[in-house]
Amino acid sequence: MNYAYDNLSKRQKVYVDAVIEHAPALGIDLNKDEFSRAELRQVSMTLKGKKWIPNWITHDQSRRAERGVFLIPEIKDAITESPSAVTPGEETDGDMEQDAVEHVVSRILDDAVDEMAASIDTEQEFSLL
């Protein structure tokens, strides 16, 4: 079977792209071809709010590396073929450390909530937020 990102359907690409997008925040290593059921369930929960892994992965016997581990080389293929791809944790000129963006946004939101809480006089007003 030819496991190239370009050979995937639109829906399959959506899932592969979701793995690439969410894996760093979930602590999933993208520099591999095999992904465990637990890792893929984390992505599915983040993407759809459900733990179900797409059938094109779980029901295709050629994708079974071992029990509970699935072969999805299209993920690494999509990362390496993308001209602007940056491996999680890798810093390149101008990427502004994209791996840390979620942490920065979270910190900004936390600071904003703290400032709002400090400016409110009563607990009742704070509960309205």
pLDDT per residue of the chain (129 residues) written in tens, 0 to 9: 677 888 899 999 999 999 999 999 999 999 999 999 999 999 999 999 999 999 999 999 999 999 999 999 999 989 887 655 455 555 554 444 444 555 566 667 666 666 766 666 545 444 444
Contacts of 29 (CB under 8 A, 6+ apart): 23
Taking the whole predicted model, whether its pTM rises above 0.85 is answered as no
d(C-alpha 44, C-alpha 123), whole Å:
38
What is the per-residue pLDDT for 94?
47
d(C-alpha 88, C-alpha 99), whole Å:
6
CA 13 to chain centre: 13
d(C-alpha 19, C-alpha 57), whole Å:
13
